[in-house]
Amino acid sequence: MINLDVNHKNVLVRVDFNVPIKEGQVTDDTRIRAAIPTIQALLEKGAQKIILLSHLGRPLKALNEDGSLNVKKFTLAPIAPHLESLMGKKVIFVPTVSGPQAEKAIADAPAGSILLLENTRFEAGEEKGKSELAEQWAKLGQVFINDAFGTAHRAHASNAILAGFFDAKHKSFGLLMQKEVESAQKVLNHPDKPFTAILGGAKVSDKIMLIENLLDKADNIIIGGGMAYTFMKAQGGKIGSSLCEEDKLDLASELIAKAKTKSVNLLLPVDSIAADAFAADAKTQTVNSKEIPDGWLGLDIGPEAIKEFSDAIKASRTICWNGPMGVFEMAAFANGTKQVAEAVAAATKNGAFSLVGGGDSVAAVNQMGLDDEVSYVSTGGGAMLTMLEGGDMPGISSIG
Contact footprint for ligand AMP (CB under 6 A): 201-202, 206, 225-226, 243, 298-299, 323-324, 326-327, 329, 359-360
Measured from the CB atom, the residue of 26 and 297 that comes closer to ligand AMP is 297
Residue 54 Cβ vs ligand AMP, minimum distance, rounded to whole Å = 23
On whether the CB atoms of residues 191 and 318 are closer than 8 A, the answer is yes
Q: Which lies closer to ligand AMP via its Cβ, residue 89 or residue 203?
A: 203
- The identity of residue 316, as a single letter, is S
HSE-CB for 206 with a 13 A CA cutoff: 18
Based on the residue annotation, tell me whether 359 is a catalytic residue of this protein: yes
Helices and strands counted in the chain (H then E): 16, 19
Catalytically annotated residue among 9, 14, 31, 233: 31
Query: Closer CB to ligand AMP, residue 241 or residue 348?
Result: 241
Q: 203, 258, 314, 317: which one is catalytic?
A: 203
Shortest reach from residue 243's CB to ligand AMP, in Å: 5
Query: CB of residue 336 vs ligand AMP: minimum separation in angstroms?
Result: 9
121 in catalytic set? no
Whose Cβ is closer to ligand AMP: residue 78's or residue 381's? Answer: 381
150, 359, 380, 395: the active-site residue: 359
In the bound state, the residue with its beta carbon closest to ligand AMP is: 201
Strand residues in the chain grouped as ranges (E): 10-14, 21-22, 25-26, 49-53, 91-94, 113-117, 143-146, 171-173, 195-199, 220-223, 238-239, 265-267, 271-275, 284-288, 291-292, 297-301, 318-322, 353-356, 376-377
Smallest gap, in angstroms, from Cβ of residue 293 to ligand AMP? 15
CB neighbour class for 343 (10 Å; exposed up to 12, middle 13-18, buried from 19): buried
How many Cβ atoms are within 10 Å of 400's Cβ, its own excluded? 10
Q: How far is the CB of 79 from ligand AMP (least distance, A)?
A: 26
Closest to 78 measured CA to CA, from 110, 39, 119? 119
Q: Toward ligand AMP, which CB reaches closer, 19 or 244?
A: 244
Closest C-alpha to 335, from 367, 370, 306: 306
Strands 238-239 and 291-292: parallel
Can 203 be counted among the known catalytic residues?
Answer: yes
31 a catalytic residue? yes
Active-site residues, by number, are 31, 203, 359, 382
